[in-house]
Amino acid sequence: MSAPRAGDRIPVAVLGATGAVGQAFVRLLAAHPWFRLAEVSASERSAGKSYRDAARWLSGALPDDVAAMTVLATDPSAVRSTLVFSALEADAAAIAEPAFARAGRFVLSNASCFRMEQDVPLIIPEVNPEQLGLLVRQRENREWKGAIVTNPNCAAIVIAMALAPLDRAFGLRKLFVSTMQAVSGAGYPGVPSLDILGNVVPFINKEEGKIESETVKLLSRVTAAGRLEMSPATVSAHANRVPVEHGHTAVMSAAFETRPTPDEALAVLESWRGDVSELALPSSPARPLVITREQDRPQPRRDADAGGGMAVTVGRVRADPLFDIRLVAMGHNIIRGAAGASILNAELLVARGILRAM
Q: Is 154 a catalytic residue?
A: yes
185 close to 248: Cβ distance less than 8 angstroms: yes
* Residue 143 Cβ vs its own copies, minimum distance, rounded to whole Å: 36
* 193 lies in the site for its own copies, by CB under 8 A: yes
Q: Which 3 state secondary structure label does DSSP give 5? A: coil
CB–CB of 114/71 below 8 Å?
no
Q: Which stretch binds its own copies (CB under 8 A): 27-35, 160-168, 241-249, 276-284?
A: 241-249
277 binds its own copies (CB under 8 A): no
β-strands 147-150, 71-73: how paired?
Answer: unpaired
Q: Phi, psi (5° rounding) for residue 139?
A: -65, -40
Q: Is 290 in the site for its own copies (CB under 8 A)?
A: yes
305 binds its own copies (CB under 8 A): yes
Is residue 115 involved in binding its own copies (CB under 8 A)?
Answer: no
Q: How far is the CB of 336 from its own copies (least distance, A)?
A: 16
> Of residues 316, 331, 332, 347, which one binds its own copies by CB under 8 A?
316
3-class DSSP state for residue 134?
Answer: helix
Answer whether 174's CB lies under 8 Å from 254's CB: yes
Binding mask 200-239 for its own copies (x = CB under 8 A): xxxx--------x---------------------xxx-x-
Establish whether 246 is a catalytic residue.
Answer: no
- Tell me how far, at minimum, the Cβ of 25 lies from its own copies, in Å: 17
Residue 271: count of CB within 10 angstroms of its CB: 11
Q: Does 322 bind its own copies (CB under 8 A)?
A: yes
Query: What three-state secondary structure class fits 21?
Result: helix
Least distance in angstroms from the C-beta of 221 to its own copies: 21
Length of the chain: 358
**Angle between the N-to-C axes of helices 20-30 and 340-351, in degrees from 0 to 180, rounded to the nearest 10:** 50
Catalytic residues: 154, 248
